[in-house]
Structure 1
Amino acid sequence: MKQIPEAQVRPSALQQAPPTISEEPSLVAIQSKYLLKDTTQTKVYLYVDAFKGKNPISITDFIKTYNVNYVIYSDYGTRERLGYGNVKLDSSNVGKAGDKIVVAYDIKSPNRDYGVLLSEISQVGTLKKVLNDLTIHFKKMTVSQTYGVHTAASPQPLQRHYINADEAFTLKKASEGSDQLHVFYYNHEFEPAGSPMNVAPKSTGSRALEADSTFTINTSETLHFSKEGLYNIFADTTQSEGLGILVVNERFPKVTRPQLLLGPLLYMSTNNEINEIKKAEDYKKALDKYWLTLMNGNAPLAQQSIRSFYSRVEEANQLFTTYKEGWKTDKGMIYIVLGPPDKVQRSKDREVWTYDQRGNAQNVNFTFNRKNNQFVDDHYELVRYAEYQPIWYPVVEAWRNGSIR
Structure 2
Amino acid sequence: MKTTFGVYLSLLSALVIAGCASSSKISKPLPEAKVYPSQSQQTASTAPVNEEPSLISIQSKYLIRDSTQVKVYLYVDAYRGKNAIASDDFAKTYNLNYVIYSDYGTRDRLGYGNVKLNESNVSKVGNKVVVSFDIKSPNKDYGVLLSEISQTGTLKKVLNDLTIRFKKQSTNELYGVYTAASTEPLQRHYINSNEPFAVKRITESTDQLHVFYYKHSFDAAGSPMNTAPKTVSKSLEVDSSFTINTNETLRFEKEGLYNIFSDTTQSEGMGLLVVNERYPKMTRPEALLGPLLYMSTNTEINEIKKAEDYKKALDKYWLNLMNGNAPLAQQSIRSFYGRVEEANQLFTTYKEGWKTDKGMIYIVLGPPDKVQRSKDREVWTYDQRGNAQNVNFTFNRRNNQFVDDHYELVRYAEYQPIWYPVVEAWRNGTIR
TM-score range, shorter chain: over 0.9
Query: Residue 173 of structure 2 aligns with which residue?
Result: 145
Matched-pair contact (CA < 8 Å) for 2:32–2:372: no
Residue 208 of structure 1 deviates from its aligned partner by 1.1
What secondary structure does 1:276 align onto? helix
- 1:381 and 2:408 aligned: yes
Query: Residue 36 of structure 2 aligns with which residue?
Result: 13
Superposed, which structure 2 residues align to 1:66-105 within 5 Å? 66-105=94-133
AA of the residue aligned to 1:40: T
Query: Residue 222 of structure 1 aligns with which residue?
Result: 249
Query: Residue 172 of structure 1 aligns with which residue?
Result: 200
What secondary structure does 2:425 align onto? helix
How many pairs align?
A: 399
Matched-pair contact (CA < 8 Å) for 1:13–1:30: no
Alpha carbons of 1:11 and 1:150: their partners in 2 closer, same or farther (altered >3 Å)? closer
AA of the residue aligned to 1:189: S
TM-superposition CA deviations, 1:275-329 (whole Å, max 9, x none): 0000000000000000000000000000000000000000000000000000000
AA of the residue aligned to 1:340: P
Query: Residue 138 of structure 2 aligns with which residue?
Result: 110
Residue 7 of structure 1 deviates from its aligned partner by 6.8
TM-superposition CA deviations, 1:249-282 (whole Å, max 9, x none): 0000000000000000000000000000000000
AA of the residue aligned to 1:54: K
TM-superposition CA deviations, 1:22-54 (whole Å, max 9, x none): 110000100000000012100000000100011
AA of the residue aligned to 2:393: F
The normalised TM-score by structure 2 is 0.91
Residue 176 of structure 1 deviates from its aligned partner by 2.8
Give the one of 234, 239, 250 matched to 1:207. 234
Matched-pair contact (CA < 8 Å) for 1:38–1:141: no
Give the one of 55, 59, 63 matched to 1:35. 63
Supply the distance in 1 between the matched residues of 2:252 and 2:148 (Cα, whole angstroms).
37
Q: Any unmatched runs of 5+ in structure 2? A: 1-28
Query: Residue 12 of structure 2 aligns with which residue?
Result: none
Give the one of 264, 277, 280 matched to 2:304. 277
Supply the distance in 1 between the matched residues of 2:228 and 2:66 (Cα, whole angstroms).
43
Give the one of 393, 396, 399 matched to 1:372. 399
RMSD over aligned Cα, in angstroms? Answer: 1.3
Alpha carbons of 1:7 and 1:82: their partners in 2 closer, same or farther (altered >3 Å)? farther
Identity of aligned residues (%): 78
Supply the distance in 2 between the matched residues of 1:314 and 1:106 (Cα, whole angstroms).
32
Query: Residue 81 of structure 2 aligns with which residue?
Result: 53
AA of the residue aligned to 1:30: I
Query: Residue 3 of structure 1 aligns with which residue?
Result: none
The normalised TM-score by structure 1 is 0.97
Supply the distance in 1 between the matched residues of 2:202 and 2:137 (Cα, whole angstroms).
14
Q: Any unmatched runs of 5+ in structure 1? A: 1-5
Query: Residue 388 of structure 2 aligns with which residue?
Result: 361
Matched-pair contact (CA < 8 Å) for 1:14–1:341: no
TM-superposition CA deviations, 1:227-262 (whole Å, max 9, x none): 000000001111000000000000000000000000
Residue 10 of structure 1 deviates from its aligned partner by 3.7
Give the one of 147, 161, 169 matched to 1:133. 161
AA of the residue aligned to 1:158: L
Supply the distance in 2 between the matched residues of 1:121 and 1:259 (Cα, whole angstroms).
42
What secondary structure does 1:127 align onto? coil
- 1:249 and 2:272 aligned: no
AA of the residue aligned to 1:237: T
Supply the distance in 1 between the matched residues of 2:336 and 2:187 (Cα, whole angstroms).
25
Alpha carbons of 1:94 and 1:341: their partners in 2 closer, same or farther (altered >3 Å)? same
